[in-house]
Amino acid sequence: MTSPSSSSINHKVALVTGSSSGIGYETSLMLARNGFLTYATMRNLKKSEDIKSLAEKEKLPLRVVELDVTDDRSVKNAIRSITAESGRIDVLVNNAGYALNGAFEDIAMEELKAQYETNLFGVTRVTQAVLPFMRKQKSGIIVNISSGVVPMGGFPGGSAYVSTKFAIEGLSGSMRYELEPLGIKVVLVEPGVIGTNFFNAVVTAKKSRDPNSPYSQIMQKMATSFEEVTKNASSPELVARVVLEAITDENPSLMYIAGKDIEQLKEAKRSMSDEEFYRMMKKNLNLDLASTTRART
């Protein structure tokens, strides 16, 4: 790793996880383009060529660092390397994650543990490694990328993924109370449907691939629904702009929404009873849950 240039020594320092593509990729570029000395971290450095090439072309204050959020040693080595070079970490964007798809009954315990290891414990591992430096600085901001599925309350096939995002929101809300007196701010960003390779990278539970699963029809309907929803997806740059807005706000809110779809969804939920909202979501997802379940039992 090269030493920071004299022009970047006084920049605020940002660390972004999961930066090889999608939201993490665009957020790293957005922060670097706005003067942050940005460490774009990722598990697989073979996927770093695009962002490195663009950073070099634009002469951005951006470094690429290997960091696997599921590995204690990898996290510690990355944080040690970053702080040795920059001396501080002002912004942490916890973005790394993936979705495990499958009906709850079909999800194996090992699959569920792997989902939590990345989406929840990965956030925990990186944040706990960064916090001592932020405490010493008496400043910093932590941005946790949640999901617009939280205000939805869930969806068929999403029990593993959605539950990790509910956990992230509970974690963030509690951390905010603890860290605010220390000068450290905590922010949640809820993206809507974003046009990234996220959906292409969805992992399907092994049992859910079996056409004889009692949930196969409902999963097929959900796959069709997602194909339609993604046609109107927002750009990952939208989320990156929201992250930039949050970290440059002197008094950031706990929650930021990224996407008109989530704004509309939250407004609908405020104006409806829980049962009305549930019926609306079934209709929007083109699901008749009772008949679909009966057909396979």
- Amino acid, res. 275: E
215 is catalytic: no
Using pLDDT thresholds of 50, 70 and 90, give the confidence band for residue 7.
very low
Residue 148 has pLDDT above 60, yes or no: yes
* DSSP state letter for 194: B
Using pLDDT thresholds of 50, 70 and 90, give the confidence band for residue 198.
low
Q: What does the pLDDT look like over 209-247, one tens digit per residue?
A: 899 999 998 888 888 777 776 777 788 999 999 999 999
Q: 25, 39, 161, 215: which one is catalytic?
A: 161
Q: Which pLDDT belongs to residue 61? A: 97
Which of the pair, 297 or 265, is modelled with greater confidence? 265
* Mean pLDDT for the stretch of residues 192-209: 78
Q: Which pLDDT belongs to residue 260? A: 82
Taking a C-beta distance cutoff of 8 angstroms, is the pair 35, 248 a contact? no
What is the Cα–Cα distance from 251 to 85, expressed in whole angstroms?
A: 29
DSSP count for the chain of H helices, then E strands: 12, 9
Using pLDDT thresholds of 50, 70 and 90, give the confidence band for residue 3.
very low
Tell me what percent of the residues of the chain surpass a pLDDT of 70: 91
* DSSP state letter for 153: T
- The model's pTM is 0.89
Using pLDDT thresholds of 50, 70 and 90, give the confidence band for residue 4.
very low
DSSP assignments along 78-130, one per residue: HHHHHHHHHS---EEEE-----EES-GGG--HHHHHHHHHHHTHHHHHHHHHH
Between 62-76, 112-126, 128-142, 282-296, the lowest mean confidence (pLDDT) is in 282-296
Q: Could you give all domains of the chain from N- to C-terminal order, each with its CATH number? A: 13-210+234-262 (3.40.50.720)
Using pLDDT thresholds of 50, 70 and 90, give the confidence band for residue 288.
low
* Mean pLDDT for the stretch of residues 111-129: 98
Residue 65 has pLDDT above 90, yes or no: yes
Between 41-45, 164-168, 225-229, the lowest mean confidence (pLDDT) is in 225-229
Q: Which pLDDT belongs to residue 199? A: 57
Q: Which residue, 126, 240, 140, is CA-closest to 180?
A: 140
Residue 114 has pLDDT above 80, yes or no: yes
Residue 80 has pLDDT above 60, yes or no: yes
Taking a C-beta distance cutoff of 8 angstroms, is the pair 13, 32 a contact? no
* Mean pLDDT for the stretch of residues 48-74: 97
Q: Which pLDDT belongs to residue 23? A: 95
* Mean pLDDT for the stretch of residues 192-206: 75
Q: Which pLDDT belongs to residue 206? A: 93
Using pLDDT thresholds of 50, 70 and 90, give the confidence band for residue 196.
low
Between 131-140, 194-203, 263-272, the lowest mean confidence (pLDDT) is in 194-203
What is the Cα–Cα distance from 286 to 141, expressed in whole angstroms?
A: 40
Q: Which pLDDT belongs to residue 197? A: 57
Name the β-bridge partners of 62: 38
Taking a C-beta distance cutoff of 8 angstroms, is the pair 75, 53 a contact? no
- Residue showing tokens 């396979």: 296
